[in-house]
Amino acid sequence: MEGKGKNWLENPQAALVFYWPPLGRQIRIEEEWSRFHRREYRDNYFSSFRRDSQYQAGRLNRVELCGTAVSGRACEAGLEKKYPGRVPRPPDWGGYRLRPNLFEFCKERSGQLHE
């Protein structure tokens, strides 16, 4: 495993902040990442994607799916012929689950005070 997935597994802590200026509201969420380990979770998650998104995910492993390193459009056309009903999930493809453990809601007030 390389890239973001490896970094996330080495440090599974994360925080998200959503700010709505017109409302003067903000939410901060602290959470942990975890990888889908069970195959059926990965299969179900992958199959919930739109078909074009499945092709996009499959391009990460295009040689395996298409047989050769071909252009994106040619690969999609080949995949459509080869897999008319369903795009197979690449074997190393997986998903991540977020498990929130803290929600912090803020409301703006004057003078940089928050509620």
Q: What is the pLDDT of residues 64-111, one digit of tens each?
A: 666 665 666 777 677 677 777 777 787 777 777 788 999 999 988 876
Q: Which amino acid is at 28?
A: R
| Contact predicate 13/30, CB 8 Å | yes
* pLDDT over 70 (residue 115): no
The closest alpha carbon to 79, from 93, 94, 68, 91, belongs to 68
Helix (H, G, I), strand (E, B), or coil: what is residue 90? coil
Q: Read off the DSSP letter of residue 108.
A: B
Whether 60 has a pLDDT exceeding 70, the answer reads no
Task: Kindly report whether the global pTM for this prediction surpasses the value 0.85.
Answer: no
Where do the domains of the chain lie? 1-36+95-115, 44-94
Work out whether strand 25-35 and strand 96-107 pair parallel, antiparallel, or are unpaired: antiparallel
